[in-house]
Amino acid sequence: MANSHGLTSRIIKKQAAARKLAKGKKKASQVYIGNENPQVRKNQSYKSRKHYLENKQNFPKKKLKTKSIESLKEQGIIDERGFFVKGKKKNFITKSMVDEKGLDFYGMPRAG
């Protein structure tokens, strides 16, 4: 069975793409030995640690191109109230889950 590890196929495809990107790169030959203890490291295979490191290095963090609220609204990244259109229902202006009026993404009152 190809999918005996229980991961979804989209995750497998991303991992394979990351490994393909990492082929021939010197830094990809490193092995992830982060802040886990030696016992965990012994239980985890060399191959899975290597794949973890390759995936971590080859998928860049999502970063906004600009912090200007007006330009983000024009690009359609945030809506007119300041909430992100895709992803987490967080407000860019207030940096919380509510807007200036105390209403959440769906327009309902929310404490905090």
User: In whole angstroms, how far apart are CA 110 and each of 82, 91, 102?
Assistant: 16, 13, 6
Assessment of whether the complete model's pTM goes beyond 0.85: no
Q: How many CB atoms lie within 10 A of CB 30?
A: 13
Query: Is residue 72 within 8 Å of 82, Cβ to Cβ?
Result: no
3-state SS class at 10: helix
32-52 pLDDT per residue, tens: 555 566 666 667 778 888 888
- Residue 78 pLDDT: 92
Chain-centroid distance, C-alpha 45 = 24
User: How far apart are the two ends of the chain, measured CA to CA in Å?
Assistant: 48
Return the structure tokens found at 78. 């945030």
